[in-house]
């Protein structure tokens, strides 16, 4: 499991015969080592590695699309657009939660259970 350890890269570089390349392929800190040893990469694990986007773009035919969909680096979130799209819901939710009839209930009252059920 040393190959998964992001802090062990220098040790692994010095002892490449001990590397488990499948585990190293999902290690975000190992990109330079993987780029230098592309013939040993486990492309399924690399496809889920958030630091490997540049390497994956250069080798698109080797991407394992199932694992790639789990890679958080493939998503670009537009927070401003999300905020604008949810403004109405936010105001409506605050109005519902902060009703005087709810605010003055018992201290351990579960507001979310009342709103959404169990």
pLDDT at 77: 84
The whole-angstrom separation of Cα 53 and Cα 80 is 24
Q: Which of 50, 2, 49 is nearest to 25 (CA)?
A: 49
pLDDT digits (tens, 9 = 90+) for 15-40: 999 999 999 999 999 999 999 999 99
Residues of the chain with pLDDT under 50: none
The whole-angstrom separation of Cα 95 and Cα 88 is 11
Residues 6+ apart with CB under 8 A from 52: 28, 31, 34, 46
- Whole-structure pTM value: 0.65
What is the full DSSP assignment across 4-60? G-GGGHHHHHHTGGG--HHHHHT-GGGHHHHHHTGGG--HHHHHT-GGGHHHHHHTG
pLDDT at 39: 96
């Amino acid at each position: 499991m040393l190959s998964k350890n992001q802090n062990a890269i220098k040790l692994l570089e010095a002892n490449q015969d001990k590397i488990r390349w499948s585990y190293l392929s999902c290690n975000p800190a190992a990109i330079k080592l993987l780029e230098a040893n592309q013939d040993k990469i486990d492309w399924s694990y690399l496809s889920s590695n958030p630091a490997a986007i540049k390497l994956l773009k250069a080798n698109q035919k080797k991407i394992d699309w199932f694992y790639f969909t789990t890679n958080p680096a493939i998503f670009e979130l537009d927070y401003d657009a999300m905020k604008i799209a949810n403004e109405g819901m936010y105001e409506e939710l605050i109005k519902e939660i902060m009703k005087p009839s709810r605010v003055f209930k018992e201290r351990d009252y579960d507001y979310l259970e009342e709103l959404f059920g169990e």
